Amino acid sequence: MNAPEPAAVTRFKEAHSAVGGGGRVVILPDTVHTAVLAAEALGCEVGAIANSLLFDAEGAPVLILTSGAHRVDTAVTAGRIGAPALKRASPDFVRTHTGQVIGGVSPLGHPTPVSTWLDVALRQYDEIWAAAGHPAAVFSTTYDELLAMTGATEVEVD
């Protein structure tokens, strides 16, 4: 018997549907907790994984959707997006601003709008995968669809 769908995934699906999202939602094994492992499980390049990284910009949440092949240089990225500084967000900060837990932050469905930036490196992939509100859930999308659904601003991420 299958386990019930996590509530966070149900909330994600509602938000995804509300913005006209396509693609599919996949629940991965719990052991898939990095972009590399997710890419292996999905049969895609690690760069096609869109990591949703929430940062604390002096108390304001900033969501960077970056290619799994990139690490975010916070000083460089802060300068590119006009933020005074970006620091790693605490688990409580992440939950407060996204309603989700670290490792499962989706680009959609947050309690209030979050400033979102999309790594232009993701544009090279026909299909990209992003978290669907739970650490074991992902959804497929395209660069253009993700940009439209999130209202993100494009940025180059190193």
pLDDT tens, 32-87? Answer: 778 888 899 999 999 999 999 999 999 999 999 999 998 899 999 999 999 999 99
pTM of the model: 0.93
The answer to whether the CB of 97 falls within 8 A of the CB of 114 is yes
Range of the domain at 65: 7-155
Give the whole-angstrom CA distance, residue 3 versus residue 16: 22
Residue 2 placed within a domain: no
CATH number of the structural domain spanning residue 59? 3.90.960.10
Please give the tally of structural domains in the chain. 1
Could you tell me if residue 111 is left (phi over 0), alpha (psi between -120 and 50 degrees) or otherwise beta? alpha
pLDDT tens, 99-129? Answer: 999 989 999 999 999 999 999 999 999 999 9
**Does residue 98 sit in helix, strand or coil?**
helix
**Does residue 10 sit in helix, strand or coil?**
helix
Residue 88 placed within a domain: yes
Residue 11 placed within a domain: yes
Residue 1 placed within a domain: no
The answer to whether the CB of 71 falls within 8 A of the CB of 1 is no
